[in-house]
Structure 1
Amino acid sequence: QAVDAVRKSEVRHDARLKRTKWAWLTDMARWSKKQDEAVYDLTRSNLKTARAWRIKEALRDIFQAKPGREQAEGLLKRWHSWARRCRLEPMKQLAATIKRHWAGVLQGFESGLSNGYVEAMNSLIQAAKARARGYGTASHFIAICFLIAGKLKHLPANPFQTPLQRMVAS
């Protein structure tokens, strides 16, 4: 969000940034050939968006390296100092947010836990809710949530499936 806020403010003055939003927000390894051609030179320019992108990528590198708590604290302190002094207000706000949640961020490096599984289950449940266009009662919705997220193995086999379909499904 911080990188996109910087890009939005700068795109009014520099037409080169038009149609580059998703390139700035995705990982460089996942850029398409078109994005690579359009943005590669911009990342090495003096644009504010390029500076914000480099700050974001430095933070991403810290998280991808998965250092221990002590090493992460040192890396995050250096990153925080850089982001706080960068003169880009959205990046300063990001640095302030990380500072407010400093203990939790460092705990994440120590525990190695992530909320990725919870987010994945939430997306499945929200999709089921949208597909059904709501449920008659809260207990019906809760039952569907358990069926989707519970990964229940003891349920009886679907009587409408052929034995071959059962083998493929398991």
Structure 2
Amino acid sequence: MNTIRTKICGITRPEDALAAAELGADAIGLVFYAKSKRAVSIEQAQAVVKNLPPFVSVVALFVNENEQTIREILRQVPIDVIQFHGDEDDDFCRRFDRPYLKAVRVQSAADIQTACAKFPNARALLFDAYHPTEYGGTGQSFDWTILHGN
């Protein structure tokens, strides 16, 4: 059975997280990537998740972050799922005792097939438009018809 779940990513303010939850979001995403205009500090993240209702998952998004920084954030912020958006491999993604999502920049059907083989432990794969210098959040889309049959 296919169930649609909704994650609103790039939340930076507690009131936006609560609004997303009230409107039915299953999860909120916190971006821990300094180059993003939606990046949050640990303190901002703590404030955002402090008053979330139960059953709203908190997803932490990282892009090529070092292990020590990720562990420090996980120690200070209650995170349910990690979303890796960079060049991380499956071994790295599994180090944090949390389920993980892996974002894949897609140019062709082969990218999808390769990702399925390379990330067998991912809870899910998130397919995003390829951009040569950015890791997502570009507002661009890819040809979704290549998802058929994969």
TM > 0.5:
no
Higher fraction of helix: 1
TM-score (norm 2): 0.27
Whose strand fraction is larger, Structure 1's or Structure 2's?
2
* Higher Rg of the two aligned structures: 1
